[in-house]
Amino acid sequence: MNIKQYVDRGILRILKIGVSLLGLLPLGLLHLIGKWSASFVFFLLKKRRDIILENLKLAFGPSLDKKELKRLYREIVSNIGKGSMEALTLRFLPDRFFDDIDVTGLDYLRDAANQGKGVIAVSAHLGNFALIGRKLSRLGYRFNDINRDPHSQLATKMFEWVTQCEGVNYIPDKPKNLCLRKSIECLKKGEILFIPDDLSAVSGGIYVDFFGYEVPTFKGPVTLSMRSGAPILPLFIVWDDDGRQRMIIEPPIPLIREGRIEEDIYRNISHITKIIEGYIRKYPAQWWWVHRRWKRRREKRNNQIAQNIP
């Protein structure tokens, strides 16, 4: 074992102790620390602060005046801090915390799961999305989440420790072939495959409309459904006005299959993206605006099927 590995092991132990201590705090205090910490971090990280503000201006344009922009920014940062603290102390949250999360539309999930082909749950980085897997696993479902691996081995180990939970599995999005194979395997077992489809696709995606701009979007939910027969259900989690969290499960999306594969994929992904956009418009302070969703945007072109990304 080299020096770097010893250092990483020491840092990992310190981080685990720190998170364990945070897990002892009352939830209200934890939220308060999260809000203060996020405000301080975004005060220091001007680049990320500017990304949030730029994204808000792109999405809402002149309908958002300066006063409303500042208010919304503060709410976004506050929610990021609150949600991050809950996600960080996930393994220490009491049972009653998850019991208090309301679920609407659970019958849609039961009916879809009873088909025996697995369920593709499309979602977004909205609300405290990190809680979805833990909640559904407590309801008896096997849950698989496709996510981007952290860039460092230390961060990966910390992520695995924080999120470890019976019934919840994480599938790295790279390498693509392995991700595809594991995704198909879990669907064949009748499990839930959770795919947040609100990030910018670097490759293998398709341009669809999102807040008036064409942006690169992953095709995975639709292509996997066409291949496996698994139904697609929109699934989100949000904070209600009273502070309680609520999981919303929508009816299955009927796929368009008219025999023109690329056009069918485009129309289905466009439909899913519009559903996601609708939730972001309804809960704008709860979306993950720090991601550069419009980095590779282009102006919307009417009556033209968007091109694939090489």
Domain boundaries, the chain: 3-299
User: What band does 175 get if pLDDT is binned at 50, 70 and 90?
Assistant: confident
Nearest one of 137, 132, 133, 204 to 174, comparing CA atoms = 204
Collapsing DSSP to helix, strand or coil, 106 comes out as helix
User: What band does 6 get if pLDDT is binned at 50, 70 and 90?
Assistant: confident
User: What band does 238 get if pLDDT is binned at 50, 70 and 90?
Assistant: very high
The per-residue DSSP string of 192-255 comes to EEEEE--SPPSSSEEEEEETTEEEEEE-HHHHHHHHH---EEEEEEEE-TTS-EEEEEPPPPPP
User: What band does 43 get if pLDDT is binned at 50, 70 and 90?
Assistant: very high
Query: Given this model, what pLDDT does residue 155 score?
Result: 78
Query: Given this model, what pLDDT does residue 253 score?
Result: 97
Indicate if the pLDDT at residue 307 is higher than 60: no
- Name the amino acid, one letter, at 68: E
User: What band does 150 get if pLDDT is binned at 50, 70 and 90?
Assistant: confident
pTM of the model: 0.92
- Name the amino acid, one letter, at 146: I
User: What band does 305 get if pLDDT is binned at 50, 70 and 90?
Assistant: low
Exposed/middle/buried for residue 43 (C-beta within 10 Å: 0-12, 13-18, 19+): exposed
Indicate if the pLDDT at residue 240 is higher than 90: yes
What average pLDDT does the segment 266-277 reach?
Answer: 97
User: What band does 163 get if pLDDT is binned at 50, 70 and 90?
Assistant: confident
pLDDT (tens digit per residue) in 280-303: 999 999 999 999 999 999 877 654
Nearest one of 260, 257, 265 to 207, comparing CA atoms = 265
Q: What are phi and psi of 254, to 5 degrees?
A: -70, 115
User: In angstroms, how far apart are the furthest CA atoms of the chain?
Assistant: 60
Indicate if the pLDDT at residue 68 is higher than 80: yes
Query: Given this model, what pLDDT does residue 80 score?
Result: 97
Query: Given this model, what pLDDT does residue 217 score?
Result: 96
Higher pLDDT, 41 or 301: 41
Query: Given this model, what pLDDT does residue 250 score?
Result: 97
Query: Given this model, what pLDDT does residue 36 score?
Result: 96
Indicate if the pLDDT at residue 276 is higher than 60: yes
The pLDDT mean for the chain works out to: 91
Indicate if the pLDDT at residue 72 is higher than 60: yes
Query: Given this model, what pLDDT does residue 284 score?
Result: 97
